[in-house]
Amino acid sequence: MFVGYEQRTVVDAVQTIADLTIPVGTHQVQIQASVVDIRYTMDNVTNPTQTLGMVFEAGAEQPTEFLGEDLIRIRFIRGAGQGNGLLNFHYSSGRQI
């Protein structure tokens, strides 16, 4: 069951879970980029850069899914040579994070 939705503007500075508003009871998260590609890391050590990290492709048909417990380690930034992007988050219920 979905418990919340959030859209965040992603700029050229690293953002973390502290920048998100995660509903209580979130167990799973679907994330989808729009406008521009977004780089991310989830090892809780490496900051993504505009050329380093995994990619949420803008306009991808299917969102990427993560467990809520994995979301606490996410860091993200917009891709190289691009304007600000958007990340869309759908939060679903289950175990709390």
From first to last of the 97 residues of the chain, give the pLDDT tens digit.
899 999 999 998 999 989 999 998 899 999 999 999 999 999 989 999 989 999 999 999 999 999 988 888 999 999 887 789 999 999 999 655 5
* Confidence (pLDDT) at 75: 96
Q: Which domains does the chain have, with CATH numbers?
A: 2-93 (2.60.120)
- Name the residue among 18, 13, 92, 7 with its Cα closest to residue 48: 13
Q: What is the DSSP letter of 35?
A: S
48 burial via Cβ count (<10 Å: 0-12, 13-18, 19+) = buried
Query: Which residues are CB-neighbours of 9 under 8 A, at least 6 positions away?
Result: 84, 85, 86
| Distance in angstroms (rounded) separating the CA atoms of residues 12 and 49 | 8
Please tell me the predicted confidence (pLDDT) of residue 46.
96
pTM value is 0.89
